[in-house]
Amino acid sequence: MAQLGDLVRAKALLRSAARAFGPKESVARARCVVAEAEIALVSRDLGWPAKALDAARATLEQHGDRVNAAHARYIDVRRLLLTGRLDEAERRLTALDPAPFPPALKIGHDLLVAWVAIRRLRTQEARAALARAGRAARHAGIHALTAEVESASRVLNTPAARLIVRGEEHLLLLAEVEALQASKALVVDACRNVVRDAGSTVSLARRPVLFALARALGEAWPGDMSRDTLVARAFGAKRADESHRARLRVEVGRLRRVLRTLAGVDATKQGFALAPRRAHEVVVLARPVEERHAAVLAFLADGESWSSSALALALGASPRTVQRALDELATAGKVQSFGRARARRWMTPPVPGFPTTLLLPGPLPSD
């Protein structure tokens, strides 16, 4: 039922099966829990109780079912990746040795290694992991996994960011973004809201006004940007009055303090200009497409259906904020929903020829 797409029915059947197993059939009940956890992951029910999965994994390990116990661990790692807990996901993945597992788990392991490497901007490592996974999937004849490897590989060959330098824009692949990170340029990174050079990084993720100023000055470099334009970029004011200019002076002073190790902010006749300390060039790194709700669209781009509560958890935003964003995107025809109330799910309109995949464990080993 899950592979046919009826996740609600599949979940109900699993729960019914778990209740039907007697007290002495703890392994069978644990397998039901693991399967339900994967359905919850695929349906982006990120609020599904992780403790239940941990308890099921422990039961499986105690009774020698190492394959399904490992599968439970991989589900946990995938959930951590979705919720942005990259350090913990990488630590748990590193602790897993896929050598004794069947082909499906080995391929899944390499896919997770690739996704961690992609998030870390280690493109060579990601390509190597995807190459291993692709060869193994073709050799095993697992077409669903072959399709998933191909889908992940497309990420490496799709524009990941825009480079803005001296008034010109260029699209960058992930490998080019990685190379930029290692360069000696002063990078104003609008993907992560940080400013960095080869020596240090300053995060402005919690200071949106200061980052807006830094980005505007980075785009204007090596020239300056007028005070009125900076007011519009930082405060959203259509016309700058004296109060705006006074606030601009205060915020520029704050920007000077936080960027003091990386760059100066010099006053000019017209406005302000960025003056890097060590770097010889200033560049701005931006998302390939920028719009108001780009972060929501980025999560929905995986082709899976998400609940608004799961998106809120993954984004670290309030459910109401996410719901408003989804309503606006739906009105614009950029997302669509199905189901009602708590069963309502959101996704981007499907692209013909690229169905989503659901990976469930193969036949369970006999006791």
Q: What is the pLDDT of residues 215-224, one digit of tens each?
A: 999 999 999 9
Asked if 95 and 114 count as a contact pair (C-beta separation under 8 A), the reply is no
Least confident of 96-105, 145-154, 182-191, 284-293: 284-293
Q: How far apart are the first and last CA of the chain?
A: 24
| Residue in this structure with the two tokens 């919850």, named with its chain if needed | 40
Going by C-alpha positions, the residue among 61, 7, 68 that lies closest to residue 32 is 68
User: How would residue 312 be classed by pLDDT, with cut points 50, 70 and 90?
Assistant: confident
pLDDT tens digit sequence for 244-257: 889 999 999 999 99
Q: Is the pTM of this model over 0.85?
A: no
- What pLDDT does 364 receive? 35
Asked whether the predicted pLDDT for residue 237 surpasses 90, the reply is: no
Residue ranges, comma separated, of all CATH 1.10.10.10 domains in the chain are: 161-286, 294-347
All CATH 1.25.40 domain ranges in the chain, comma separated? 7-156
pLDDT at 362 exceeding the cut of 70: no
Q: Say which residue, 10 or 138, is predicted with more confidence.
A: 138
Residue 295: predicted pLDDT: 79
In order of 38, 84, 266, 313, 361, the CA distances from 50 in angstroms are 11, 15, 52, 14, 18
Convert the pLDDT of each residue in 152-162 to its tens digit.
898 899 888 99
pLDDT digits (tens, 9 = 90+) for 191-208: 889 999 988 999 998 899
Q: Compute CA 135 distance to the chain's CA centroid, rounded to the nearest angstrom.
A: 26
Fold category of 7-156 in CATH: 1.25.40
Name residues whose C-beta falls within 8 Å of residue 248's C-beta, 6 or more positions apart in sequence. Answer: 227, 230, 231, 234, 235, 240
Query: What's the pLDDT score for residue 67?
Result: 92
Q: Is the pLDDT of residue 351 over 60?
A: no
Most trustworthy range by pLDDT among 37-46, 119-128, 290-299: 119-128
* Over residues 74-101, mean pLDDT: 92
Q: Summarize pLDDT for 151-190 with one digit per residue, the tens.
A: 889 889 988 899 999 989 999 999 999 999 889 999 999 9
Confidence band for 303, pLDDT divided at 50, 70 and 90: low
CA pair distance 283, 220, nearest whole angstrom:
10
- Amino acid letter for position 227: R
**CA distance linking residue 333 with residue 328, whole number of Å:** 9
Q: What percent of the chain shows pLDDT beyond 70?
A: 94
Overall fold of domain 294-347: Arc Repressor Mutant, subunit A (1.10.10)
Q: Quick one: pLDDT at residue 356?
A: 32
- Of how many residues is the chain composed? 367
Lowest mean pLDDT segment, chosen from 29-43, 259-273, 283-297: 283-297
Interaxial angle between packed helices 50-62 and 26-42, expressed in degrees from 0 to 180 and rounded to the nearest 10: 140
HSE-CB at 232 with a 13 A cutoff on CA atoms is 8
109 or 354, which is more confident? Answer: 109
Higher pLDDT, 334 or 51: 51
Q: What is the mean pLDDT of residues 11-36?
A: 88
> Is it the case that residue 272 has pLDDT exceeding 90?
yes
The mean predicted confidence, pLDDT, of the chain is 86
* pLDDT at 265 (0 to 100): 95
Which class does domain 161-286 fall in? Answer: mainly alpha
Summarize pLDDT for 27-83 with one digit per residue, the tens: 999 999 999 999 888 878 887 888 999 999 999 999 999 999 999 999 999 999 888
Q: What is the pLDDT of residue 213?
A: 96
